[in-house]
Amino acid sequence: MEVVVAASIFSLVMLLSVSLYANVTRNQRRVQSLTKVQDDARFVLETLAQSVRLDAVDYRAYLDPNGDGVYADYRNLGLAEEYLVTTSGAERRYFRRLTAGSRGYLAVCLATTNPNFCNTPGSPAGNFRDITPANINITAFRVFIAPSSDPYAPSPQAVTDCYSQSAPNTYDPVRGVCACDSAGTGPPRCFPGQTCDATNRLCVRANAQPRVTIAITSSGGSARLQESVEPRTYQTTVSSRIFRR
């Protein structure tokens, strides 16, 4: 009986010890996976942030996606964008977007001559290069750009460069500006992000340094389901160092 009792106690202690060791090891691996995912997510964010700091936000890719020089197809940049486009001093356009597959990853494409070479959606996958560490899965990518109007835009040359082309007297050819009406006789006709000068009744373009808020959602970290990291969202805001007036 003494041997049976001793063996039972020993077996119970060993079982608890093995279970405790397995739990500690699993939690340790999960913490390592979480740390790895966080480090990789920060690496991705810093890579994107560096591109915004050193390059200029390419407003043309958002406000003039057809590349025809007409801002008639304006879209409100106050909403979330699903791709990030910057341009270098050599007028190179870098497109960054989320690519779905067996895992989600961020990819970059360089367009030098054809502005639509990397335009999304519908671009050939071969144009884009994966810039995401292999052990994380990017499930969401959002970009918020401010100001919502182009601070680099040249002076308007025709009515097609103004926000409301159908309104009368939208373009003032004498002063070379887009006119607006803030006196109560009609709605202002300026791009969002611009202001309507009530005295001179002209649109004043945004006078703010471009800044970009980037948010990504990532998961992964381990092939073992018990050690994988649930989706987490990471965000950063960065300003461009290039501000041409």
pLDDT at 140 over 80: yes
Please, are residues 163 and 143 in contact by the beta-carbon 8 Å criterion? no
Judged on CB neighbours under 10 Å (0-12, 13-18, 19+), 15 is: exposed
The reply to whether 105 falls in a domain is: yes
Q: Dump pLDDT digits (tens) for 186-201.
A: 555 676 667 777 777 7
Q: What is the mean pLDDT of residues 204-226?
A: 75
Residue 20, pLDDT score: 77
Residue 141, pLDDT score: 92
Q: What is the mean pLDDT of residues 216-225?
A: 70
The reply to whether 146 falls in a domain is: yes
Domain range for 59: 32-151+208-239
* Closest to 156 (Cα-Cα) out of 212, 119, 194: 194
Give the span between the Cα atoms of 141 and 152, in whole angstroms.
Answer: 25
Name residue 212's beta-bridge partners. 145, 238
The reply to whether 143 falls in a domain is: yes
pLDDT at 117 over 50: yes
AA letter at 4: V
pLDDT at 215 over 90: yes
The reply to whether 36 falls in a domain is: yes
The reply to whether 38 falls in a domain is: yes
pLDDT at 69 over 70: no
Please, are residues 143 and 212 in contact by the beta-carbon 8 Å criterion? yes
The reply to whether 26 falls in a domain is: no
Q: Which token pair is 131?
A: 């810039």
AA letter at 147: P
- Range from 54-58, 114-118, 156-160 that averages highest in pLDDT: 54-58
The reply to whether 180 falls in a domain is: no
Please, are residues 236 and 213 in contact by the beta-carbon 8 Å criterion? yes
Cis upstream peptide for 147 (omega within 30°): yes
- Total domains in the fold of the chain: 1
The reply to whether 182 falls in a domain is: no
AA letter at 160: T
- Give exposure, 44-69, as e/b (b: 16+ Cβ within 10 Å): bbeebbebbeebbbbbbbbbbeeeee
